[in-house]
């Protein structure tokens, strides 16, 4: 199997396209592909099906349970995105180490993700005892900065130094960096200084130890520190820093950029260099990317009492005053926006005709996004012309996509070698052909494809759609029903397939489905809809972390101590017009009304949220880490904020989002993320323990609890007891919950800052 095939399988697993993976039921144990057993193990795990028999086979192949768990951790790393694979892999690697604590690869893998140095020592010790020096070199080459040496005993430090001083390892840049740090920890300072003199670059964290002990001057150390770390140095001579950047620029590398060089020259008050760098870049037509460089140039001319460059001055003024002078006259500003929008549309039409948007879809280009931003302006939304302008932009987009699809259809040609098509390629063909209204031909080719391949949910649904478009509702319903049955057998809830079936049974004049079956279909439709809102890296602005402001009351205490999220119904939300009745949006939707919601925020420091949600600063803010996995039937998504008039005008688009995930823009400061379900109003959470996670719970944990500015002193002991109890349940490798409190900033009494608290339990 080639790399592309592996990528397709991994993508199907990640997106739970189980119907595409049916072949693994027969091939996981017969194929010579080493990944297949691991893939099948995780597919069954995601379906919540028994996978013990697969694990037993993996143990048989790998020779031991420890090797089997390590293999599964490695496969998890191949399948899942980094944020999810990190804790999934770690669960399996730690399970391997429970069985064999000296497993070198598992120890290295745990160190790689956690930076826990004891695991590195075990890994190195194993390789050293077995005289596998090249493996030691490979490991150390993957370590840029080894932190935590201070935690080791002197005996452990000496052992590590003994390994690193092996003849075959000396002279390696990474190893020398570690040796410099080791020498400092052991008190071998002269040896450490000698290595510093002999190496090209040293991490600032390491050399700072020698600087703080007055063993090397700050000025002398500048040449040893990478330029990208110079910003970490406080109270350093700006001229010295500029010299380092200037020397690197003269060396001809990609860094520093001309913008950075101009900035450093200005900070060093070397105004002549600012001017010469800028004018040389302009003359040589090099990119000066940011407006700041133009400002530094003009400021340097003022400092040197020179006349300002009129052309650059006008450029800067135009940049800063663009539209501002028009905003004083609302009508002029509105007309300017319309003019700008139409000019953009004209340019877009020209570019579509010239096939300018060939590398990426038109929506990804800045010129298209600029037009979308104009449509969000209040002046445009509140005007009757909004719908017309939006239709104009959508018309250009639709024309672009139609032309691209027609080009793609031509590439397929009239005769297809269907026996050579893979499922994903054939599904793409169906999409293209149906989009081009090529229904009869698509029906013919799907039937041919089914002669060589087992029908799938997607191919059957495509067949149903084609028959529906040619008004053959009997066949449309027949294949829609088969697609539904296929969906249920593969446990891949697809709301599009269900919606198609629900719409067709009426048009096909079939007998009405029973109330029980209809309710089941509606539930499945909503399950499929919810499943499409999975965790992604864009939900959180701080690496899988979200915040929740709450009053400190009995309900909050219960939720903290018993580790669950409460999801109130829409009636309890703070915006009375936030979740309108679906019947008032569109009556023919199959979306259930009884959704429950738990709200989180990306805003970790908001005066308003402390006031609104945390009992006038007497409550708490909990910081949660999310691993990414959600129980079946739960979804999570950011909230969009829009003007009320825009919400009304767009009410027929993205019905579910309008119903559940849109608020008035007045609430935008909340930066809200919503967890939602229609199944119940409470869900437990815990850190997943692989290889046997409890998938009825959310993979999440509490990172910290911040007390409000006015949090009662007499309740701090209770917070301490709660945190101490929760921390006592954590495994040794898991981070403990920290406690902070909000205080008014010393230099700004209108802002809050958080400080760590040490509470007596």
Residue 531's pLDDT is what? Answer: 92
Residue 585's pLDDT is what? Answer: 45
pLDDT band at residue 325, thresholds of 50, 70 and 90?
A: very low
Q: How far apart are CA 597 and CA 413, in angstroms?
A: 49
- 737 pLDDT above the threshold of 90: yes
Mean pLDDT of all residues belonging to the chain: 86
Mean pLDDT of 83-110: 92
Domain boundaries, the chain: 3-238, 240-322, 326-412, 418-531, 545-756
Range in 128-132, 258-262, 582-586 the model is least confident about: 582-586
Higher pLDDT, 291 or 697: 697
Positive or negative, the Cα torsion across 451, 457, 460, 465? negative
Higher pLDDT, 580 or 627: 627
Mean pLDDT of 445-467: 93
Tokens of 192: 């450490």
Q: How far apart are CA 585 and CA 597, in angstroms?
A: 20
Residue 588's pLDDT is what? Answer: 65
Mean pLDDT of 144-173: 86
What does the DSSP assignment read for 458-522?
HHHHHHHHHHHHTT-HHHHHHHHHHHHHHHHHHT---HHHHHHHHHHHHHTTPPPPPHHHHHHHH
Q: How far apart are CA 483 and CA 468, in angstroms?
A: 14
H helix count then E strand count, the chain: 35, 12
Most confident of 216-225, 277-286, 383-392: 383-392
Q: How far apart are CA 401 and CA 395, in angstroms?
A: 10
pTM: 0.75
Q: Could you tell me the fold of the domain covering 3-238?
A: 1.25.40
Q: What is the pLDDT of residues 540-568, one digit of tens each?
A: 888 899 999 999 999 999 999 999 999 99
% of the chain at pLDDT higher than 70: 89
| CB 157 within 8 Å of CB 185 | yes
Residue 224's pLDDT is what? Answer: 78
Q: What is the pLDDT of residues 645-682, one digit of tens each?
A: 544 444 444 567 666 777 777 788 899 999 999 999 99
- 131 pLDDT above the threshold of 70: yes
Q: Could you tell me the fold of the domain covering 418-531?
A: 1.25.40
Counting Cα atoms < 13 Å in the Cβ hemisphere of 598 gives: 23
Higher pLDDT, 714 or 322: 714
Higher pLDDT, 432 or 81: 432
| CB 341 within 8 Å of CB 391 | no
Residue 276's pLDDT is what? Answer: 92
- 571 pLDDT above the threshold of 90: no
Q: How far apart are CA 101 and CA 70, in angstroms?
A: 12
Q: What is the pLDDT of residues 279-314, one digit of tens each?
A: 888 877 666 666 778 878 887 887 787 887 888 878
Are domains 3-238 and 418-531 of this chain identical in fold?
Answer: yes
Residue 649's pLDDT is what? Answer: 45
State the CB neighbour count (10 A cutoff) for residue 134: 11
Q: How far apart are CA 698 and CA 629, in angstroms?
A: 6
Q: Is 641 helix (H, G, I), strand (E, B) or coil?
A: strand
Mean pLDDT of 705-725: 96
């Amino acid at each position: 199997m080639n790399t592309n095939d592996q990528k397709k399988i991994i993508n199907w697993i990640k997106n739970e396209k189980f119907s595409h993976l049916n072949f693994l039921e027969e091939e996981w144990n017969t194929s010579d592909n080493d990944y297949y057993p691991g893939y099948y193990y995780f597919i069954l795990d995601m379906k919540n099906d028994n996978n013990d028999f697969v694990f037993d086979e993996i143990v048989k192949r790998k020779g031991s349970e420890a090797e089997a768990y390590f293999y599964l951790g490695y496969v998890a790393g191949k399948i899942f995105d980094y944020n999810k694979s990190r804790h999934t892999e770690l669960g399996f690697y730690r399970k391997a180490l429970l069985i064999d604590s000296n497993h070198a690869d598992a120890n290295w893998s745990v160190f790689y993700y956690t930076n826990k140095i004891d695991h590195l020592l075990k890994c190195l010790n194993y390789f050293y005892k077995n005289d596998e020096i090249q493996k030691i070199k490979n490991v150390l080459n993957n370590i840029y900065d080894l932190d935590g040496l201070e935690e080791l005993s002197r005996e452990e430090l000496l052992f590590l130094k003994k390994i690193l001083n092996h003849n075959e390892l000396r002279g390696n840049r990474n190893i020398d960096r570690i040796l410099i740090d080791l020498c400092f920890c052991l008190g071998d300072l002269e040896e450490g200084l000698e290595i510093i003199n002999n190496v090209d670059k040293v991490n600032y964290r390491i050399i700072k130890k020698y600087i703080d002990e007055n063993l090397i001057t700050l000025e002398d150390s500048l040449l040893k520190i990478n330029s990208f770390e110079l910003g970490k140095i406080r109270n350093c001579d700006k001229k010295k820093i500029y010299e380092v950047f200037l020397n690197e620029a003269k060396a001809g590398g990609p860094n520093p950029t001309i913008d950075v060089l101009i900035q450093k020259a200005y900070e060093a008050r070397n105004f002549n260099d600012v001017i010469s760098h800028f004018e040389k870049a302009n003359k040589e037509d090099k990119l000066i990317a940011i407006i700041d460089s133009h400002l530094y140039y003009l400021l340097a001319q003022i400092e040197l009492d020179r006349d300002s460059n009129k052309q650059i001055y006008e450029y800067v003024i135009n940049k800063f005053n663009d539209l501002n002078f028009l905003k004083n006259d609302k009508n002029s500003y509105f007309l300017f926006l319309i003019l700008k929008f139409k000019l953009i549309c004209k340019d877009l039409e020209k570019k579509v005709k010239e096939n300018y948007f060939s590398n990426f879809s038109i929506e990804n280009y800045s010129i298209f996004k600029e037009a979308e931003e104009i449509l969000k302006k209040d002046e445009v939304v509140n005007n009757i012309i909004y719908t017309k302008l939006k239709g104009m932009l959508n018309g250009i987009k639709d024309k672009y996509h139609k032309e691209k699809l027609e080009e793609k259809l031509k590439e397929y040609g009239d005769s297809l070698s269907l026996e050579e098509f893979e499922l994903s390629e054939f599904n793409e063909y169906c999409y293209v052909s149906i989009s081009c209204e090529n229904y009869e031909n698509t029906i013919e080719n799907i039937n041919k494809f089914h002669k060589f391949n087992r029908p799938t949910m997607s191919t059957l649904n495509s067949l149903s759609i084609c028959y529906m478009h040619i008004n053959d509702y009997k066949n449309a319903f027949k294949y829609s029903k088969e697609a539904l049955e296929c969906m249920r057998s593969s446990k891949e809830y697809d709301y599009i397939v269900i919606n198609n079936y629900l719409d067709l049974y009426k048009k096909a004049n079939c007998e009405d489905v029973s109330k029980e079956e209809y309710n089941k279909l509606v539930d499945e439709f909503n399950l499929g809809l919810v499943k499409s809102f999975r965790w992604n890296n864009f939900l959180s602005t701080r690496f899988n972390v979200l915040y929740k402001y709450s009053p400190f009351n009995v309900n909050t205490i219960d939720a903290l101590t018993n580790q669950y999220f409460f999801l109130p119904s829409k009636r309890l939300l703070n915006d009375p017009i936030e979740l309108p009745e679906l019947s008032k949006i569109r009556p023919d939707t199959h979306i259930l009304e009884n959704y429950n919601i738990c709200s989180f925020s990306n805003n970790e420091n908001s005066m308003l949220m402390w006031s609104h949600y945390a009992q006038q600063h007497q409550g708490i803010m909990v910081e949660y880490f999310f691993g990414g996995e959600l129980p079946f039937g739960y979804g999570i998504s950011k909230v969009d904020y829009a003007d009320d008039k825009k919400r009304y005008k767009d009410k027929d688009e993205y019905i579910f989002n309008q119903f559940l995930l849109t608020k008035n823009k007045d609430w935008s400061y909340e930066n809200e993320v919503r967890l939602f379900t229609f199944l119940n109003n409470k869900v437990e959470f815990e850190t997943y323990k692989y290889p046997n996670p409890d998938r009825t719970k959310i993979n999440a944990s509490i990172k910290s609890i911040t007390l409000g500015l006015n949090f009662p002193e007499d309740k701090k002991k209770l917070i301490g007891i709660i945190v101490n109890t929760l921390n006592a349940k954590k495994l040794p490798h898991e981070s403990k919950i920290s406690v902070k409190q909000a205080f008014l900033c010393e230099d700004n009494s209108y802002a809050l800052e958080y400080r760590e608290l040490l509470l007596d339990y």
